[in-house]
């Protein structure tokens, strides 16, 4: 869309309430929000916004190690997304994602035999789950919520304590560790974090379950990364499944599909932690002073190649 490149600079600052929330539930250890005075490091409801330099990765790692946690990472690779993105996503995850922790990858695909063999580090496992292929790419994307909901009620739910759910069309480029974990985690969208609220691409059609009225919506979150505890994710996925079913019954589809419903959910149920755009960055945006160390980089959008 044409407005994509519009830039409105919103001055940012540290949380006015200076005091950071108690962080017993999010494993960050000592946060240093003052280390990044040029960006917003705390939401209005007291959740930390994690920027490079605002946490101590060693403390975060130690805390997770002490609790003997297993961290799940789910990713869908259906149709041509498998050959195009999956190997690099997994290989770079081995280098950067929760290094030193117990990790279980869950790869959902309609062609389990085609999943590439990636050498896994100690304490890391990969499970491949069959998922039927939907015809439309929008349906592949939206159906992820239903599949995830089922998986969270099954083995994934039993073996992992925290789960991050990600798009496959990206690769890790820097350390993505336990500082990203919390009861519920949302990702600031790289293209939209500087936009004024009224311009954010929320669903505005009042017939849709995803609708947000003018003045509603805290941030525009990116569905390429979200996560949390089993309980939080089960309620998130249940909300989205139900909302999408309602829309389908009315013959409508939200503007950005599952992402629109995710944004509605996080408006109603505030995330316990927000990840800065450094955690899921689009290199096409170019250099920005506040983007110090990107953790995940989007692949260039090659829709003609991967979508039918
Ligand atoms: N996806 C897939 N096959 C498809 C369409 C989507 O595997 O045909 C999965 C894949 O994990 C992808 C995610 O759904 O990253 C979301 O789709 P996409 O990345 O194309 O959406 P965008 O990021 O462009 O909004
Ligand atoms: Mn994507």
How far does the centroid of ligand 1 lie from the alpha carbon of residue 220, in Å? 18
pLDDT at position 52 over 50: yes
pLDDT at 23 over 50: no
Question: Quick check: 100 pLDDT over 50?
Answer: yes
- pLDDT value at position 29? 53
Residue 307 Cα, ligand 1 centroid: separation in angstroms?
A: 9
Query: Within a 13 Å sphere around the CA of 153, how many CA atoms are in the beta-carbon half?
Result: 10
Spatial neighbors of 87 by CB under 8 A, at least 6 apart, are 116, 118
Q: Which residues pair with 129 in a beta bridge?
A: 108
- Looking at all shown ligands, the one closest to residue 107's CA atom is 1
Mean pLDDT across the stretch 219-230?
Answer: 98
Q: How far is the CA of 300 from the centre of ligand 2 (A)?
A: 10
Which atom in ligand 1 lies closest to the alpha carbon of residue 167? 15
Residue 9 confidence (pLDDT) above 50: no
Using an 8 Å Cβ cutoff, are 227 and 163 in contact? Answer: yes
Number of the ligand 1 atom closest to the C-alpha atom of 75? 11
Give the pairing type, strands 184-188 and 221-229: antiparallel
Q: Atom 5, ligand 1: which residue's CA is nearest?
A: 137
The pLDDT assigned to 8 comes to 33
How much of the chain, in percent, has pLDDT values that exceed 90? 81
DSSP letter (8 states) at residue 228: E
Ligand 1, atom nearest to 166 Cα: 11
Q: What are the two backbone dihedrals, phi and then psi, of residue 103, each rounded to the nearest 5 degrees?
A: -130, 140
Query: What is the rounded average pLDDT of the residues 144-169?
Result: 98
Q: If you measure from the C-alpha of residue 213 to the centroid of ligand 2, how many angstroms do you get, rounded to a whole number?
A: 26
Q: What is the pLDDT of residues 193-212, one digit of tens each?
A: 999 999 999 999 999 999 99
- What domains, with CATH codes, occur in the chain? 68-281+293-306 (3.90.550.10)
The token pair at 238 is 């249940």
* Strands (DSSP E) found in 131-254: 162-166, 170-172, 184-188, 221-229
- Spell 18-49 as b/e; 16+ CB within 10 A means b: eebbebeebbbbebebeebeebbbbbeeebbb
Residue nearest to atom 2 of ligand 1 (CA): 78
For the segment 102-117, the average pLDDT, to the nearest whole number, is 98
What is the CB < 6 Å shell around ligand 1?
75-79, 81, 137, 140-141, 167-169, 224, 301
- What tokens appear for 42 in the block? 């705390």
Q: At what angle do helices 137-152 and 258-268 cross, to 10 degrees?
A: 50
Q: What is the pLDDT of residue 30?
A: 67
Q: Would the pLDDT of 306 be above 70?
A: yes
């Amino acid at each position: 869309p044409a407005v994509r490149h519009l830039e409105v600079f919103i001055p940012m600052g540290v949380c006015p309430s200076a005091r950071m929330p108690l962080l017993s539930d999010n494993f960050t250890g000592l946060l240093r929000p003052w280390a990044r005075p040029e960006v917003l490091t705390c939401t209005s409801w007291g959740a930390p916004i994690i920027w490079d330099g605002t946490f101590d990765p060693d403390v975060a790692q130690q805390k997770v190690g002490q609790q003997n946690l297993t961290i799940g990472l789910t990713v869908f690779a259906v149709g041509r997304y498998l050959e195009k993105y999956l190997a690099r996503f997994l290989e770079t995850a081995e280098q950067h994602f929760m290094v030193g922790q117990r990790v279980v990858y869950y790869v959902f695909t309609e062609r389990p035999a085609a999943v590439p063999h990636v050498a896994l580090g100690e304490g890391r496992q990969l499970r491949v789950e069959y998922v039927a292929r939907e015809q439309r790419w929008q349906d592949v994307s939206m159906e992820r919520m239903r599949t995830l909901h089922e998986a969270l009620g099954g083995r994934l739910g039993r073996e992992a304590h925290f789960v991050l759910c990600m798009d496959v069309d990206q690769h890790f480029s820097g350390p993505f560790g336990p500082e990203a974990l919390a009861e519920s985690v949302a990702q600031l969208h790289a293209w939209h974090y500087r936009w004024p609220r009224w311009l954010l691409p929320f669903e505005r059609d009042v017939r849709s379950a995803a609708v947000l009225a003018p003045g509603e919506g805290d941030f525009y979150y990116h569905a390429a990364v979200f996560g949390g505890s089993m309980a939080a994710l089960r309620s998130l996925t249940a909300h989205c499944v139900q909302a999408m079913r309602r829309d389908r019954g009315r013959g409508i589809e939200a503007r950005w599909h599952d992402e629109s419903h995710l944004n509605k959910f996080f408006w109603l149920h505030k995330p316990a932690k927000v990840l800065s755009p450094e955690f899921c960055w689009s290199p096409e945006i170019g250099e920005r002073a506040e983007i110090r160390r990107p953790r995940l980089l989007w692949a260039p959008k090659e829709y003609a190649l991967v979508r039918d």
